[in-house]
C-alpha cells in the first residue's frame, strides 16, 4: 500500500523541514478508535482522570522550551505568543482537573418519592455520563490551545471520554510532540496511553467522523471544512453531536458619542485587535461600523496611522496567504470600496495589514448592492484586514447588523455617558447584538478569550454548529448525556447517586 508522507513545513520559507509521519489508512483509523474505545472503563476513575490532566500540564510545562520551539518553527507565531498559549493550555488542563475533583459538572439531582402529589412522583435520581470516544479536529491558528492538548481534548478527557485527534497539517511535529507528552502523562496516572491518540491526513479525518464507535466530535476551523464534517456526522446511520466553530465576522459598533469622546483610542485599539496574531484569531473584528463625520474621520486617521506602522507578518501557511491576498483583492475591487491602508502581499512569504472602507448604505442594501456583490464584505477574511463601514444614522447601522449571520462575538464602543446613564440607544444595540453573537463586549476588544467558568465561546450558526461553548468550564457538557434512574434500589445505583453520597458530590435534592 502506498503511504503519503506528512511533512513539517516552515511558513517563513515555504520549505519542508522534516517528515513527521504518514497519513493514516482506514485500517489505522479503525485501530486507533477501537483502542480508544477500550479505554472507557479506565477513564471511569475520576481520581485517575484528574491526576492525568495535572500530569499532562506538568509535562508540557517541563518541555516548554522544546514545545515552543517546535510550534514556532511550524507556525511563525513567535515565542512570546506561544509562551502565553502554552500557559493557557496547561491552565485549561488544570482547570478541568479541578472540575473533575469538584464534581458539579455531573449535575446530580435527586427527587424523592412523593405519593401525595397528583400524579404521584416516583423517586428519581439523575446525573450525566460520558458519551464515548470523541474525535477532535485541531485548529490551524492555535497549535496548542485548540490542538492536541487543547480545550476540546481536555474537556472530553475530563468528562471521561477517550480522544482521537485529527492533527492539523500546519503543525504535525508539534502535535506529535504534545501527543507523546499526553500519552506519557496517562501512563503515569495509571491509565492506558491510548486514552489519547493522533491521526494525520484529510481522508483519515473523514474516516474518523464516520467510524461507528466515535460518539461525538469537536472542530475548530473553516466554514467549508466544518460544514462538510457536520453533514457527515448527521448522515451517519446513528448521527452524533458535532460541536464545530466555523468562523465569524465579529462586528463592532462605534457610537457617535464614543467616537466624539475617544476616537484616537478606539482607532489604535482596533488596529491592535485586527493585527494580533497577524489577524489569525477567530474573534478578530472583521466589520466595524463607524459614524460619518469629523469624529469618525479622527478614528479612521488613528486606524490608518497604526496599521500603516505595522510590519508585515507571516501567515500560518502559504495556502492561507494566497486566500488572504485573493480575498482582499476581490473586496477592494468593488465599486465604492477604498483601501486607506492597502492590505495584501507584503513580500514573497508575508502579508501586510490594512483596512477597507465603504458606506454602510451599500451593505444595508440601499439599492446600490442589488446584485449581491457586497455580500463578500460580510464574510470573514482570515488575516490582518477589517472592513470599516461608515454609517449616517442609527437606523442605517441597525440595518447592516440585521443582515449579519451568527457570530462568536459582537463589540460595542460606547461613551461614558452611554454606559453610566439611563438606558438609551445603547440598550437597543445590546438587545440587537445579543441575537447575533455568543459573547457581547463593551469598550474592549473580543480578541483574548478568557478561560473562565462564565465564558461562552460559540454563537448562532455559522459561528458554531451547536449552542455550547468550546472555552470555559461548561465546555465539558458537550461530551456528557443525562440519565435518570427511577425507583432503582440503592445497591444497584451508581456511586454518584447513592443516598450516602460516598463521593461527596454536590447535588440538588427535592423532597423530604
Active-site annotation holder among 207, 245, 380, 396: 245
The answer to whether residues 105 and 473 touch, using CB atoms and an 8 Å cutoff, is yes
SS3 (DSSP) at 501? coil
**Cα 284 off chain centre by:** 12
**Greatest CA separation for the chain:** 78
Q: How many CA atoms lie within 13 A of 80 on its CB side?
A: 2
Assign 3-class secondary structure to 363-386: HHCCCCCCCCHHHHHHCCCCCCEE
| Residues, the chain | 512
SS3 269: helix
The CA distance from 130 to 75, in Å, is 34
At residue 341, the 3 state secondary structure works out as strand
Q: Which alpha helices (DSSP H) does 103-150 contain, by range?
A: none
Q: What is the full DSSP assignment across 407-451?
A: EEEEEEE--HHHHHSS--HHHHHHHHHHTTEEEEEESS-S-S---
3-state secondary structure of 40: helix
CA–centroid distance for 239 within its chain? 22
DSSP conformation class of 25 = P
Q: List the one residue out of 354, 327, 326 whose CA is nearest residue 342.
A: 354
Between the alpha carbon of residue 497 and those of residues 15, 41, 454, 477, the distances in Å are 57, 19, 27, 19
254 vs 434: CA distance, rounded Å: 16
Grid cell locating 215: 460518539
Cell numbers representing residue 136 in the block: 477532535
Q: Among this protein's residues, is 39 annotated catalytic?
A: no
Q: How far is CA 342 from CA 263, 266, 318, 512, in A?
A: 21, 20, 20, 70
CA distances from 44 to 124, 161, 250 (A): 23, 9, 39
Q: Taking Cα atoms as reference points, which of 227, 225, 285 lies closest to residue 439?
A: 285
Active site residue 282: yes
Region of 367 (left: φ > 0; alpha: ψ -120 to 50; beta: rest) is left
Q: Which of 74, 282, 381, 418 is catalytic?
A: 282
Intra-chain end-to-end CA distance of the chain, in Å: 66
Could you give the residue numbers annotated as active site? 245, 282
Amino acid at each position: 500500500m502506498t503511504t503519503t508522507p506528512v511533512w513539517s513545513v516552515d511558513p517563513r520559507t515555504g520549505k519542508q523541514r522534516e517528515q513527521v509521519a504518514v497519513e493514516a489508512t482506514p485500517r489505522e483509523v479503525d485501530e486507533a478508535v477501537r483502542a480508544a474505545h477500550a479505554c472507557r472503563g479506565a477513564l471511569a476513575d475520576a481520581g485517575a482522570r484528574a491526576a492525568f490532566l495535572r500530569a499532562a500540564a506538568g509535562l508540557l510545562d517541563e518541555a516548554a522550551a522544546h514545545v515552543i520551539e517546535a510550534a514556532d518553527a511550524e507556525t511563525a507565531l513567535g515565542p512570546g505568543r506561544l509562551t502565553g498559549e502554552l500557559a493557557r493550555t496547561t491552565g485549561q488542563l488544570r482547570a478541568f482537573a479541578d472540575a473533575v475533583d469538584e464534581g458539579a459538572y455531573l449535575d446530580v439531582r435527586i427527587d424523592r418519592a412523593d405519593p401525595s402529589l397528583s400524579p404521584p412522583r416516583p423517586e428519581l435520581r439523575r446525573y450525566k455520563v460520558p458519551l464515548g470516544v470523541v474525535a477532535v479536529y485541531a485548529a490551524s491558528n492555535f497549535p496548542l490551545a485548540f490542538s492536541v492538548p487543547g480545550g476540546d481534548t481536555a474537556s472530553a478527557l475530563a468528562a471521561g471520554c477517550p480522544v482521537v485527534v485529527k492533527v492539523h497539517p500546519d503543525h504535525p511535529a508539534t502535535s506529535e510532540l504534545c501527543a507523546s507528552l499526553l500519552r506519557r502523562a496517562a501512563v503515569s496516572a495509571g491509565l492506558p496511553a491510548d486514552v489519547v491518540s493522533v491521526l494525520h491526513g484529510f481522508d483519515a479525518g473523514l474516516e474518523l467522523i464516520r467510524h461507528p464507535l466515535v460518539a461525538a466530535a469537536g472542530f475548530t476551523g473553516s466554514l467549508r471544512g466544518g460544514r462538510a464534517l457536520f453533514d457527515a456526522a448527521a448522515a451517519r446511520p446513528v448521527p452524533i453531536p458535532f460541536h464545530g466553530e466555523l468562523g465569524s465576522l465579529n462586528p463592532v459598533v462605534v457610537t457617535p458619542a464614543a467616537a466624539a469622546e475617544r476616537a484616537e483610542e478606539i482607532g489604535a485599539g482596533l488596529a491592535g485587535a485586527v493585527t494580533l496574531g497577524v489577524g489569525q484569531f477567530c474573534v478578530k473584528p472583521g466589520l466595524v461600523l463607524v459614524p460619518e463625520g469629523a469624529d469618525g474621520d479622527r478614528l479612521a486617521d488613528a486606524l490608518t496611522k497604526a496599521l500603516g506602522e505595522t510590519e508585515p507578518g507571516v501567515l500560518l501557511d502559504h495556502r492561507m496567504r494566497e486566500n488572504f491576498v485573493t480575498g482582499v483583492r476581490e473586496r477592494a475591487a468593488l465599486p465604492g470600496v477604498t483601501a486607506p491602508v492597502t492590505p495584501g502581499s507584503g513580500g514573497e512569504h508575508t502579508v501586510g495589514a490594512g483596512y477597507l472602507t465603504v458606506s454602510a448604505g451599500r451593505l444595508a442594501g440601499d439599492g446600490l448592492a442589488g446584485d449581491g456583490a457586497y455580500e463578500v464584505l460580510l464574510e470573514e477574511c482570515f488575516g490582518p484586514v477589517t472592513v470599516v463601514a461608515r454609517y449616517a444614522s442609527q437606523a442605517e447601522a441597525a440595518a447592516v447588523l440585521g443582515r449579519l449571520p451568527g457570530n462568536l462575538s459582537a463589540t460595542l464602543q460606547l461613551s461614558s455617558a452611554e454606559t453610566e446613564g439611563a438606558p438609551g440607544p445603547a440598550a437597543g444595540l445590546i438587545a440587537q447584538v445579543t441575537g447575533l453573537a455568543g459573547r457581547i463586549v463593551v469598550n474592549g476588544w473580543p480578541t483574548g478569550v478568557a478561560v473562565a467558568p462564565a465564558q461562552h465561546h460559540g454563537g448562532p450558526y455559522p459561528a458554531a454548529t451547536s449552542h455550547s461553548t468550546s472555552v470555559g468550564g461548561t465546555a465539558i457538557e458537550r461530551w456528557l448525556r443525562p440519565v435518570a434512574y427511577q425507583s432503582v434500589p440503592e445497591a444497584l445505583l451508581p456511586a454518584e447517586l447513592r443516598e450516602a453520597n460516598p463521593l461527596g458530590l454536590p447535588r440538588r435534592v427535592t423532597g423530604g
